[in-house]
């Protein structure tokens, strides 16, 4: 399993544990209505920020569901 020191070797900004926990809670609450994807620029921001890509999942709403 990777450890925080591995991020330094890979030239990635390690993220704060509280920041990661908050990001996970946000993603879990939105996972059914949005597509969520990793953003390659997240490693360039500070340890208190996490960047991800989000797009609305139109199939979540049956009115927009494509058969």
Could you list the pLDDT tens digit for every one of the 67 residues in the chain?
Answer: 778 788 878 887 888 889 889 988 888 887 778 888 888 888 788 888 888 888 887 776 666 555 5
Q: What is the pLDDT of residue 61?
A: 63
**Is the full-model pTM beyond 0.95?**
no
Q: 66: which 2 tokens?
A: 């494509």
**Residues 27-55 as b or e (16 or more Cβ within 10 Å = b):** eeeeeeebeeeeeeebeeeeeeebeeeee
Q: Where do the domains of the chain lie?
A: 4-59
Burial of 26 (0-12, 13-18, 19+ CB in 10 A): middle
Q: How high is the pLDDT of residue 64?
A: 55
pLDDT at 60: 65
Do 11 and 44 contact (CB within 8 A), yes or no?
A: no
Give the model's pLDDT for residue 7: 80
């Amino acid at each position: 399993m990777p450890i925080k020191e591995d991020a330094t070797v890979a030239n990635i900004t390690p993220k704060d544990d509280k920041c990661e926990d908050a990001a996970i809670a946000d993603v879990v609450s939105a996972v059914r209505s949005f597509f969520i994807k990793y953003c390659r620029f997240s490693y360039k921001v500070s340890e208190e920020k996490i960047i991800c890509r989000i797009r609305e999942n139109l199939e979540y709403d049956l009115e927009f569901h494509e058969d």
